[in-house]
Amino acid sequence: MLHERPPHWTPLLREAAIAAESLFSGLNALRKADHTSEGRYSQAFFGITIGLERLCKLAILLDSKISSGHFPSSRELKREYRHDLTRLFAKIDELRAPWHEELRWSLPDETICRRALQILSGFAQITRYYNLGQLTGDSNPGARDPIEEWYDEVGGWILRERYTQKRRARDESTARQLQRDLSIAYVGHTAEDGTSLDTVYAAALHELQTDLVQQEGVVICACLGRHVSELLRRLVWKARTIDLYMAPDLDEFFPLLNQPESVFRRRRRYSAYC
C-alpha cells in the first residue's frame, strides 16, 4: 500500500521549483546580458537573488526540521534573514561545516565569489530600486548602479584574472579589422560603466570582452548556487535516514549545479526540467 504523501511535501517541492527556475532563468539572462540589452542584467539579478535566497531558506528550513522536529516560523525567517544574502550564506557556511570532509565542492576564487554575493545581496535589499531612487531623489547614499557595480568589480576581476594574452590579442586583432572594414560607420554606444563606445574598435572590443564576462559571471553565480544545493542534498539524505517521509527529493531540481566549473563554462542554457 502506498504511503500517503505528507502535506508538507507539496510546498517544499514547489519552493524548490521556484528556487531552481528563478536561479536558472537568472543565469540564462546573465549569459546574454551586455551594454545593448541592459534589461537582461536586471532580469539576471532578480532571478539569481530570488533563486539563491529561496534555496538558502530551503536548506535552513530542512535543517530546522531535522534538528528540532519543526520548521521555523515565517516571522523568524523574516526577522533573521529578510533578503540579506550575505547573512543567509553565513548560515549556510555554518551548516556546511560539520559536513566539511564529505562535501565535494567549495567556492573557487572565494574572494570574487563573496564580492559577487555582496553585490547581489545589495541588489536584493537596496539597489533593485536604484533607478526609481535616482528619479525621485530617494536614492540610498553611497549606493551604486548595480549594473555598473557588477561590470566594474566582477567584470573587472574577470578581465584581469581570466582574460588570457592569447585571447586579448585575438580580440584586439578582430576589433582592428572591423574598424578598417567599417571605418565610415557611426557608433554611439555606452558601456555598462558609463564609458563612451564611440568607435567601431571600442564597441567591437568591448563586445568581445563582454562575452568572457558573461561566461565567467555565470560560472561565479552557478558556484554560489552549487555551494547551497550540495548542502541541501546532504540535508535531504540526513532527513530521510531519520524519517523516510520527512523530506522529498528536493535536490532533484538542481542536478545541473552538481558539476565542475568547466561544465558551467560550456553550458549555454539552464533549466530545472532539462
Per-residue pLDDT band at 48 (split at 50, 70, 90): very high
Chain position carrying cell 547614499:
141
Q: Which residues lie across from 190 on neighbouring strands?
A: 196
What integer is the mean pLDDT of 21-25? 98
Indicate if the pLDDT at residue 59 is higher than 80: yes
pLDDT tens per residue, range 220-270: 999 999 999 999 999 999 999 998 888 999 989 999 999 999 999 999 999
- Contact between 216 and 158 under an 8 Å Cβ cutoff? The reply is yes
Dmax of the chain from CA atoms? 77
In the prediction, which pLDDT does 73 show?
A: 87
Q: Is the pLDDT of residue 3 over 80?
A: no
Please list, residue by residue across 61-98, b when 16 or more beta carbons sit within 10 angstroms of its beta carbon and e when fewer do. Answer: bbbbbbeeeebbeeeebeeebebbbeebbebbeebbee
C-beta atoms surrounding 184 within 10 Å? 6
Give percent above pLDDT 90 in the chain.
Answer: 84
User: What secondary structure does DSSP assign to 165-232, as a single string?
Assistant: HHHHHHHHHHHHHHHHHTTT----EE-TTS-EE-SHHHHHHHHHHHHHHHHHHHHHHHHHHHHHHHHH
Rg (CA), the chain: 21
Q: Read off the pTM.
A: 0.94
Determine the pLDDT at residue 244: 82
Q: Answer yes or no: are the C-beta atoms of 236 and 247 closer than 8 Å.
A: yes
Sign, CA dihedral 273-116-213-47, equals positive
Give the number of other CB atoms < 10 A from CB of residue 142.
6
Between 2 and 189, residue with greater pLDDT: 189
